[in-house]
Amino acid sequence: MSRSRAAQAVLLASLAVLVTACGGGPDGAGGTSQAAGAPASGIPDTAAIVQGVQKDAQLNAGLPDTVKQAGLHLASNLQSAPNNFYAADGKTPIGYEVDLAKAIAAKLGVTVSHQDMAFGSLITSLQSGRIDLTMAGMNDTKARQAQIDFVDYFTSGITIMIRKGNPDGITGPDTLCGKNVAVVQGTSHQKFAEAQSTKCTQAGKPALTVTATDSDNQNQNQLRTGRVQAILNDLPSAVYISRTAGDGKFFEVVPGEPIDGGPYGIGVNKANTALRDSVRKALQALIADGTYGKILQAWGVEQGAIKEAAINGGS
C-alpha cells in the first residue's frame, strides 16, 4: 500500500514511519506493508559518513559525458524504510539506499538526484533513458537481467521476527513447526511458510498455523499480543521494525543468514556499460574503505552486507 507525501509527513511527525516489505511481492519484489510505532529516533545521522567520501578522479574520467555534466538521475519507489523513504518534511529522501547512492556519486565526483516513481515504472524508465539508475530494493533476477543490468549492493531474504526475549524459543525455520506464524497475503513469505509447514509434517512434526493478513501492521499487533509466535518479513524491514517499534522493546530478529536470500541490484540500462562499470567500481571502493559498512551499520542492516559488488549476480 502507499501513502501521499503529506500523509507520510504526518505519520513521521507523530513518530512513525512507513515500512515496506521490499522483495515481498508475488515475484519477490515490490510488495508493501505498513508498520506503526517506529520513532524518529530510529533515523541515524549519516551526514559525516557520506561527506567523508573523496572523489576518485580516475573513476570520474570513465563516466559518460552526460553524467559528468548533469550528474546521476536516480529513481526509487520512495516508501520503504529503511531502504528509501521521506523524512519528516515529506520531501527529503532518506534511507540506507539513499546514503549509498550519495556515497557512490561522491566517489564518482558527481551529484545525484532522487526521483519518486512507481515500482512498476522503474525498468521501462531505465530502458527509455529517462533515468540513469534505479535503486529501490529491486531483486536482481535472471528475468530482470534480460531487460536491464544490475550492480548488486545488498543481500536480502526472508527473516523471522519474534517477540523480544524470544519467549517461544524460535531459533530458525525448523523451530516454527507447530507455531502460529503471520505473513502478508500473496507474498513470497506466505509461500515459504506453506512450504515449511509441509516440511514439518513430512518430518512427523506439527504443521505451521499460517495467518495471512493484508498488512504487516496487523501482523505486528498479533505478535505483540501473542496470537502468533512469529512474523515472516524481509530482512531490512524486519531489522528496522525491531530496532524502532516501541523504542526497540517489542520485537527482535532471529539471527542467521536470510532465508531464500538474493541480491538487491542497482539497475542500469544495458546499453550503458560505462556507467554500470563505474558504479560497480565506486561501490567496491566504498566496500574496501569501510564507508559501505558504516552506512549499513548506522541503519542496523549490516546483516545484509556484501563483500563483492557483482554485476548480474542474481539467479
Per-residue pLDDT tens over the stretch 9-22 = 333 333 333 333 33
How far is the CA of 54 from the CAs of 96, 114, 181, in angstroms? 19, 21, 46
pLDDT of residue 12: 38
Q: What pLDDT shows up at residue 19? A: 34
- Confidence at residue 257, expressed as pLDDT on a 0 to 100 scale: 82
pLDDT for 79 equals 79
Question: What is the residue extent of each domain of the chain?
Answer: 5-156+262-304, 159-259
- Please state whether the peptide bond connecting residue 236 to the residue before it is cis, i.e. omega within 30 degrees of 0: no
- How buried is residue 6: exposed, middle or buried, by Cβ count under 10 Å (0-12/13-18/19+)? exposed
Looking at every residue in the chain, the average pLDDT score rounds to 87
**Burial status of residue 54 (CB atoms within 10 A of its CB: 0-12, 13-18, 19 or more):** exposed
Q: Which CATH number fits domain 159-259: 3.40.50.1010, 3.40.190.10, 3.40.50.150, 3.40.50.720?
A: 3.40.190.10
Q: What's the predicted TM-score (pTM) here?
A: 0.76
Distance CA 148, CA 73 (A): 16
Please report the pLDDT score of residue 41 as a whole number: 52
- Output the nine-digit C-alpha cell for 165: 526475549
pLDDT number for residue 22: 39
Helix (H) or strand (E) holding 76: strand 72-76
Q: Do domains 5-156+262-304 and 159-259 have the same CATH topology?
A: yes
Cα 16 from Cα 245, distance rounded (Å): 9
161 phi, psi to nearest 5 deg = -105, 135
Please give the pLDDT value at position 230.
Answer: 98
Return the half-sphere exposure (C-beta side, CA atoms, 13 A cut-off) of residue 85. 31
Packing angle, helices 216-224 and 235-244, rounded to 10:
50
Task: Look at residue 256 in the predicted model and tell me its pLDDT.
Answer: 84
Write down the residue that cell numbers 529501490 correspond to: 136
**pLDDT < 70 positions in the chain:** 1-41
Interval 94-133: pLDDT, tens? 999 999 999 999 999 999 999 999 888 999 999 999 999 9
Task: At 37, list the grid cell.
Answer: 510505532
In CATH, the number for domain 5-156+262-304 is 3.40.190.10
Pairing of strands 180-184, 209-213: parallel
> What phi, psi does 234 have (nearest 5°)?
-75, 150
Angle (deg, nearest 10), helices 291-298 and 96-108: 160
